[in-house]
Amino acid sequence: MTRALWFILKLAILVAIVVWLAENPGAVTLAWRGYVVETSIAILLLAIVVVAVVAALLYRLWKAIRRAPRRFGRRRRARKRERGYQALTRGMVAVAAGDAAAARRFATEADNLLRDPPLTMLLSAQAAQLNGDDRAAEKYFQAMLERPETAFLGVRGLLNKALRENDRPVALKLARQAHDLQPRTPWVLTTLFDLEARSGHWEQAERILLEAQKLGAVAPDIARRHRTALLLERSYEAELAGRVGEAQTLAGSAHDQMPGFAPAAVRSALLLARAGKPKPAVRTIERAWRIEPHPDLADAFREIEPNADALAQVKRFERLMSANPDHPESHLALARVALTARLWGEARKHLSKALALRPSRRTYRLLADLAQEEHGDAIGARDWLAKAALAPEDPGWSCGNCGAGFGSWRGVCGNCGSFDSVQWRETPTGDALAGPAGTDLLAPPEPRQSAA
Alpha-carbon distance values, 349 to 70, 178, 249, 338 (Å): 99, 61, 40, 10
Enclosing H/E stretch for 221: helix 220-240
- Give me the pLDDT at residue 450, please: 35
| pTM to 2 decimal places | 0.73
| Helix%, strand%, coil% for the chain, nearest 5 | 70, 5, 25
Q: 39: helix, coil or strand?
A: strand
- The dihedral sign for the CA sequence 346, 348, 353, 358: positive
Q: What is the DSSP letter of 341?
A: T
Q: 406: helix, coil or strand?
A: strand
Chain-centre distance for alpha carbon 109: 36
Give the integer Cα–Cα distance in Å for 342 and 298: 19
Q: Is residue 383 a contact partner of residue 408, using CB atoms and an 8 Å limit?
A: no
Give the integer Cα–Cα distance in Å for 417 and 201: 14
Amino acid at 250: L
Q: Is residue 394 a contact partner of residue 361, using CB atoms and an 8 Å limit?
A: yes
By CB atoms closer than 10 A (0-12, 13-18, 19+), residue 344 is: middle
pLDDT in single tens digits along all 452 residues of the chain? 788 788 788 778 867 776 766 666 667 677 777 777 777 766 767 777 778 888 888 888 888 777 777 776 667 666 766 676 566 566 656 655 666 677 667 666 666 665 666 666 666 777 777 777 778 888 878 888 888 878 888 898 899 989 988 899 999 999 999 999 999 999 999 999 999 999 999 999 999 999 999 999 999 999 999 999 999 999 999 999 999 999 999 999 999 999 999 999 999 999 999 999 999 999 999 999 999 999 999 999 999 998 899 999 999 999 999 999 999 999 999 999 999 999 999 999 999 999 999 999 999 999 999 999 998 999 999 999 999 999 988 899 999 998 899 999 999 999 999 999 999 987 544 343 333 333 344 444 444 443 32
Alpha-carbon distance values, 49 to 14, 45, 57 (Å): 14, 6, 12
- Give me the pLDDT at residue 143, please: 84
In order of start, what are the domains of the chain with their CATH numbers? 29-61 (no CATH), 80-136 (no CATH), 148-218 (1.25.40.10)
- Give me the pLDDT at residue 274, please: 94
Give the integer Cα–Cα distance in Å for 78 and 213: 46
Amino acid at 36: V
Enclosing H/E stretch for 65: helix 41-97
Q: 61, 274, 178, 62: which is closest to 284 by C-alpha?
A: 274
Alpha-carbon distance values, 350 to 116, 212, 332, 365, 423 (Å): 77, 46, 7, 14, 27
- Strand order through the sheet with 405-406: 405-406, 396-399, 422-425
Chain-centre distance for alpha carbon 185: 10
Mind listing the pLDDT tens digit for each residue in 219-275?
Answer: 999 999 999 999 999 999 999 999 999 999 999 999 999 999 999 999 999 999 999
Residues 6+ apart with CB under 8 A from 127: 91, 94, 95, 100, 103, 104, 106, 107
Listed as own residue / partner, the contacts of 341-345 with beta carbons closer than 8 Å and 24 or more positions apart are 341/310, 341/311, 341/313, 341/314, 342/310, 342/373, 343/314, 344/370, 344/373, 344/374
